[in-house]
Structure 1
């Protein structure tokens, strides 16, 4: 697809060699690009035509246009229009208004959601307002924190202004369903050809407005295999600390996009390279920086194996659970705390529960973890100490546990990353798929092994039963 893009760029303009002379937007007619309605979500096309019919401008924008030109099947279809959110909501009965920071409309078609936003203008803050904790811009629906982070931005404008306030150049590509043309407002086509990620405007200012843009740069680099352009990359390490001012709930969602989209290993390395990982997983990062290892766990080897497992599943079309990803990333910290509590004399199981509590309490200050995810995380960790205890009826009971499969997969990741568990994963693999007689033989072999290891059992002395007859009183003579 990129080969075709080169000819598309050449047809669109001959002035790319001198960017200052280039004027925007560049309009690519249907005859010069390969994106057609057949490549689009039928529901997204319905939204576009309905808005046009109501007298509004409407375009597809961002990822769906970018991904098609790169050669990736588009998944998300975002619409942008000059209609306000309230006007869009009135047009579509199957819609709902969402968001406070950015007002949006979600138009629902069964399980598919088409997100519709209004053209936004630049909400740059006046210099006089820099010292105020929260500033309302000239009576408009926009506000910033004391750190310059945009808290709310609902200042509407033209399509040209909308393009200027988008994050990266390849996300400022618009598809017009009226004439099937592509509009390039910021040089995104050229940057796709160069396989680079370039922010629109001054990088420092744009990261100040929204520090999550740094994470988005990393995510696109991992997903697309693009380089981050030098001026876009330069301020990231210095400004990474601004992520401390982003709500933990928002960062939780960003982590899932970063590490749970099929390119987790590359993205993990980039996050650490640019100093961003520590603001998402401070305990895990501190542990990795310390070089701590134990005989049964190599923290980084384990994390990388867990990310590989997640990447492989996603790339093969399988689903993954957010709690499993978080359980992997926090397990080394849990193992460290568990060891510390046991060294203080705490029994193994209470020590594990205390370790899980401490690690989760520390983590939610950075990325909020909903209870519906933290509970199965605890169960997966708990299974690591229950799976070795498979004697008698315990194996059958564990097999029926609702978190058995996740716990077993977690166990395999531990073994693949170098943890020696005496063939525990292989035993459970056979037990799951064996007949009842084979399962009983497997349990018998474990019982026999345990008996051999412990040696012959000592017989307990028989306890004499107490007589109900009254005791006869005796006297010393």
Structure 2
């Protein structure tokens, strides 16, 4: 137990272990998917310990439906693979077993060992090597928050609580296990998890757990940008996205992930646009519709692209297209210092942005061609969000809505008093020289 004293501050008492019998808690094994039960009983029958742990237990106790059920065991990865023919081992920092039954994949981890001075760390305190195994107790205190350190024992259906998670679920509190600063330094992504878990469960973050977050937020720079891309998806492509955005902003975390987005939120119109995009994504998830990280990141970075494109300027179509292409390059290059967006998402993002100026061109063939563009629907949904935020006239969005359901294109609004139609001006053909049309040449059709 001496190693636990290094985990907790001197003024904090180490929680007493508690085992709650089946009659005193609401979780039933009937709530677990069939694949999870097969893994639990497969390990038990092979002579190993097997527990459902983490979010699966936490969410059920909080009255929510878990997204997945993680399993912890004393079996080593090679032993897990011998028990299940469908097992695949992944990971380098800590080996994890994925066991498949039909379409269901269960993540199975071996109990992790205690933290010692022998663990390889970087200069900020982040653990770099963690492939050491331990006991159920050491595994519990290696977890981040008390509400994530409760174990459902398949042998007697009891819940084992080492860190006081049951009390914190009842109180609605997200509390770090051990010294918050030490634990954040071990893995700075825990600061993001604190915000996400609190908003998902409608809990509050314990004041001691929250206190160091703003000061330690720059530690996120030490996390690989590819990993942060996934963490942003978890935070902002979910039902609690707006609350998570505000939490990230409040604790200074958004500035370490998407500094251009964080700066843009100071503008009320920009905040309305981004929150509308996140709410739209949440509605689609609730309706079991597809969502794409490309659309999410396009919305998050659009304020920076739009602002840069306006500075670059441009009057005719060619100049506007060039400006938005350059703005896209610059904004994505800047964001790559913090988060790496895979090409399979950055390409459709660029297309969504590039199509926005084309919505102003509503005459003849250009409008018809835009309606048949493969990325039209995503770009149109994006336009609706811009109209909702007041960035473009609602009349423009309504026109394109009507254009999709009517027979032929709707009539345009009357021309503005100054004679401008709202469309970028076409490049005029210069008279004389190579641009002069011979008298025997036919004229080109309008808007071709």
Tell me if TM exceeds 0.5: yes
Q: Secondary structure at the match of 1:174?
A: strand
SS of match in other structure, 2:39: helix
The corresponding residue for 1:372 is: 344
Q: How does 1:13-162 map to 2 (within 5 A)?
A: 23-24=16-17, 26-125=18-117, 137=118, 142-162=119-139
Unaligned runs of 5+ in 2: 1-11, 422-430, 442-448
- Check whether the contact 1:27–1:184 (CA below 8 A) recurs between aligned residues: yes
**Which of 308, 321, 346 is the matching residue for 2:292?**
321
Query: Residues of 2 paired with 1:362 and 1:102: CA distance?
Result: 32
Cα deviation digits, residues 426-477 of structure 1 (max 9, x gap):
122222223xxx224x2xx239869x9569xxxx9984459xxxxxxxxxxx
> How far off its partner does 1:157 sit?
0.3
**SS at 2:360 equivalent:** coil
CA contact (8 A) 1:59 1:176 kept: yes
Matched-pair contact (CA < 8 Å) for 1:221–1:267: no
8 Å CA contact 2:16, 2:163 repeated in 1: no
2:362 to 385, 390, 393: 390
Task: Write the deviation string for residues 172-193 of structure 1: whole angstroms up to 9, x where unpaired.
Answer: 0101111111111110010011
RMSD in angstroms over aligned alpha carbons? Answer: 2.5
> How far apart, in 2, do the equivalents of 1:75 and 1:323 lie?
23
Residues 1:311 and 2:282 aligned together: yes
SS in 1 for 2:313: helix
Length-normalised TM-score, structure 1: 0.82
Question: How far is 1:388 from its partner?
Answer: 2.3
The equivalent residue for 2:160 is 183
**How far did 1:21 drift?**
9.6
Q: Which has the larger radius of gyration?
A: 1
The equivalent residue for 2:328 is: 356
The CA deviation string for residues 353-381 of structure 1, in whole angstroms up to 9 with x for no partner, is 00000100111111110000000100111
Kindly indicate whether the alpha-carbon contact (under 8 Å) linking 1:59 and 1:79 is maintained by their aligned counterparts in 2. yes
TM-superposed deviation, 1:382: 1.1
* Corresponding residue number in structure 2 for 1:3: none
1:233 aligns with 2:210: yes
Specify whether residues 343 and 238 from structure 1 end up closer, same or farther in structure 2 by C-alpha distance, changes over 3 A only: farther
Structure 1 residue aligned with 2:225, among 226, 248, 252?
248
Residue 195 in 1 paired to residue 164 in 2? no
Q: Which runs of 5+ in 1 are unaligned?
A: 1-18, 126-136, 467-477
SS in structure 2 opposite 1:439?
Answer: coil
Instruction: Report the 3-state secondary structure (helix = DSSP H, G, I; strand = E; otherwise coil) of the residue aligned with 2:128.
Output: strand
Please say if residues 96 and 110 of structure 2, whose CA atoms lie closer than 8 Å, have aligned partners that are also in contact. Answer: yes
Deviation at 1:281, TM superposition (A): 0.4
How far residue 274 of structure 1 moved from its aligned partner, in angstroms, is 0.6
Structure 1's 205 and 439: CA in aligned 2 closer, same or farther, altered over 3 A?
A: same
Task: Show structure 1 runs of 4+ deviating over 4 A.
Answer: 19-22, 343-346, 447-450, 452-455, 460-463
Q: Report the CA distance between 1:344 and its aligned residue.
A: 12
Checking the alignment, whether the CA contact within 8 Å between 2:388 and 2:394 is kept in structure 1 is no
2:378 to 380, 383, 406: 406
